[in-house]
Amino acid sequence: MSGNAAGVGQRIRAIREGLGWTQGELAARLQRTQTAVSYWESGRRALSLDDLVDVAQALGVANSELLPDGPPRQPVPTLLRAVADHVDASHLADELEQFAIRAQVLPQPPALWQIPSASPRDTADALLEIAGIVSPPVPVKELVRDSGVQVLPWDFEDNIDGLVLELDTGPVIWVNKHQAPTRQRFTLAHELGHHLLRHADTFHLELGGDLAPNATGGHPNYDWRAERAANEFAANLLMPASMLRRAAATVSDVAALSTQFKVSRAAMGFRLTALNIALQQHL
């Protein structure tokens, strides 16, 4: 990126000023010095890849919006086929390509709101607040639709858990309908997290079973940090801390809580542990 430092710096400055932020305010959000931000914007110092990702997330833009224009990107169907080939899933390549082609001509639902990209928890909380959701279960399908994201049913094999495409016409999500309803809800929230947190400029593909990244070494757009953040977003969206604490005050059974929030027992157990909530035995 060193040869493009000036161009990247100009884009950072333009977006920062468009937000009405000073260099000091951006530096504080990044937990960096104002001098570092000044050097980046002037082109005197190039950003590392990690710095670029952090700056893009702080500014609420896709990584590509900070990069100078390059050669035209490959069509999404071609990229998905390349991913399938990379993970030795050529039997899925045709399905992925056809899915992408169909998704490109779908009418998109209107976005009822714009959620600024923040931390996974803050983004989930902002979505719940603007949608007026105050009690479980969280209507995740409706939240996806009202975020301007289309859901396209498709009969993939079990090796794919979920998929989100960021197309020129708008975002599209697919969730494996053969999986348990609770898992579908979590996957849907997870994919919405990728979209709202602006993790994938083009697409994000969740491979399961024998094709999971830990079994194959990953695929070209796999990022463990993005996966962890999307999972954190999904947990905060489906099991908001305030709702869960209120419910746990009157319910002493993990199974009952899981039913109330429409999540799996495993997901509820992890969430209770993460929030340090101990269920009380009620007489």
- Left if phi > 0, otherwise alpha if psi is -120 to 50, otherwise beta: which for 220? alpha
CA distance 105 to 119: 32
Check if the beta carbon of residue 148 is closer than 8 Å to that of residue 171. Answer: yes
211 and 269 together in one domain: no
The residue assigned the tokens 């429409």 is: 262
Give the pLDDT band (50/70/90) at residue 223: low
Which segment of 30-44, 81-95, 163-177, 190-204 scores lowest on mean pLDDT?
81-95
192 and 154 together in one domain: yes
280 belongs to a structural domain? no
122 belongs to a structural domain? yes
53-78 pLDDT tens trace: 888 888 888 777 777 654 444 455 55
CATH of the domain at 178: 1.10.10.2910
Higher pLDDT, 258 or 208: 258
The residue assigned the tokens 């899915």 is: 99
Collapsing DSSP to helix, strand or coil, 61 comes out as: coil
19 and 128 together in one domain: no
| Structural domain boundaries enclosing 25 | 2-66
18 and 51 together in one domain: yes
261-275 pLDDT tens trace: 999 999 999 999 999
- Structurally, the chain folds into a number of domains equal to 3
188 and 115 together in one domain: yes
165 belongs to a structural domain? yes
103-152 pLDDT tens trace: 888 888 899 988 887 899 999 999 999 999 999 999 999 999 999 999 98
**How many CB atoms lie under 10 A from the CB of residue 71?**
5
Higher pLDDT, 97 or 196: 196
132 belongs to a structural domain? yes
